[in-house]
Structure 1
Amino acid sequence: MPRLVLFAIDLVAVCLLVFGLYFPRHRRRDLVVAYLGVNVGVLAVAGSLSASTVGAGLGLGLFGVLSIIRLRSTELDQHEVAYYFSALALGILGPLGGGSAWLAPGMMALILAVMYLGDHPRLFRGYRRQVLVLDSAITDEVALVAKLEQLLGARVHAVSVERVDLVSETTAVEVRYSRRAGAAPAATAGRPAATAGAQR
């Protein structure tokens, strides 16, 4: 398959990834620019330098170096990391896909399909993660889980205590839970602090 056709397929694929999947689901504009820039940048560099003798090494080198630079710049949520690596992989597959005529397009389609299904809003939609600050110091894990379930109106699956302050009588926890059908959180059971964001 001609390389220009592969380049065009990559551009269509990254547009589907960014504008068809990521932005409608997460609405973070700055990462739209990052994903497009990473993809097109890798596509341009790999397309210019790719040769049969350095193709595989070049792809792995670009993948490693760019991921270190990007992941050290700002903190990303895990789903944003997945989109980042998907955009990077699409950019590498364009010029370095090699093999049969449909190998690279097939791998691109596989990436899009996995991201569509793995980040689908209906997948584990009842599961959440939050960081909470409770207005009491609780050192007993059973009592802590019971208080969190009362506060959230949910079933708590995992709790990680980040800080217990016996002076100010507060407990900071990271909790992973799933909402019970028809349950509403009890507003008076504690006071939630800044949340780390809900994750499906």
Structure 2
Amino acid sequence: MPPLPLLLADLVAVLLLTFALYLPRHRRHDLAVAYLAVNVGVLGVAAALSSSTVGAGLGLGLFGVLSIIRLRSSELSQREVAYYFSALALGLLGGLEVGTPEVSAGFMALIVAVMYVGDHPRLLPRLRHETVLLDHAVPREDELTARLEELLGARVHGVSVHKLDLVNDTTLVDVRYTLDSGTGRRRGVVGERAVADATAVGGRAR
């Protein structure tokens, strides 16, 4: 059984991860509950496995299967996946005790610190990644890039065409771009996805 201070360290770490980092930045209450439940559940099972004859490898395998099931149940952004696995890793560190309690607590602090820096709003604030639906079929990549730059008011770094529909005259693309200085965040963008109307004045997203 892991020592009580290590269990408390895990609870403090997951509370910081959930209520100090995730909720203020992303505002999804359902996922905050999921992160807490995953962490505490993994912590309890890992603590039980650490003091039984059942191998920890079996427990880690079960956690992997549960993670796959959870991630397939709904669409999550890559940021949400990162928080999900951070909560899971904190539970494992708290329950299995890697080395000394100080080492485990250090890894917990490292995970929280990495998420704080990696998901900070000031880290590459103008960099964007969206799926855009144009109301014109644009087969040429150079023309498509120019149209997207005009539409988004940004510098396009990469374009991947998901669907080119010549019958309905539409183009579905995955675009990575950097907003021009002073452009700011466009209205109507929800999360990391937007549907754009190329005929709208100024390329307003809807």
Q: Same fold (TM over 0.5)?
A: yes
Deviation at 1:189, TM superposition (A): 5.7
Matches within 5 A, 1:1-200: 3-51=3-51, 54=54, 56-183=56-183, 187-188=200-201, 190=203, 192=205
Q: Equivalent residue of 1:168, what SS?
A: coil
Give TM-score scaled by structure 2 length: 0.85
- Give percent identity, aligned residues only: 64
Is residue 132–residue 174 contact of structure 2 (8 Å, CA) maintained in 1? Answer: yes
User: CA distance change for structure 1 residues 57 and 189 in 2, over 3 Å: closer, same or farther?
Assistant: same
Q: Equivalent residue of 2:142, what SS?
A: helix
Q: Distance in 2 between matches of 1:21 and 1:99?
A: 27
User: CA distance change for structure 1 residues 101 and 7 in 2, over 3 Å: closer, same or farther?
Assistant: closer
Comparing 156-165 with 182-191, greater Cα deviation is found at 182-191
User: CA distance change for structure 1 residues 190 and 183 in 2, over 3 Å: closer, same or farther?
Assistant: closer
1:135-171 residue CA offsets vs partner (Å, 9 max, x unmatched): 2211111011001101111000111112222222221
Q: Equivalent residue of 2:115, what SS?
A: helix
Comparing 49-58 with 83-92, greater Cα deviation is found at 49-58
Give TM-score scaled by structure 1 length: 0.87
Deviation at 1:52, TM superposition (A): 7.7
Is residue 150–residue 203 contact of structure 2 (8 Å, CA) maintained in 1? Answer: no
| One-letter amino acid matched to 1:188 | V
Deviation at 1:85, TM superposition (A): 0.5
Gaps of 5+ in 1: 194-200
Gaps of 5+ in 2: 187-197
Is residue 159–residue 173 contact of structure 2 (8 Å, CA) maintained in 1? Answer: yes
Is residue 134–residue 170 contact of structure 2 (8 Å, CA) maintained in 1? Answer: yes
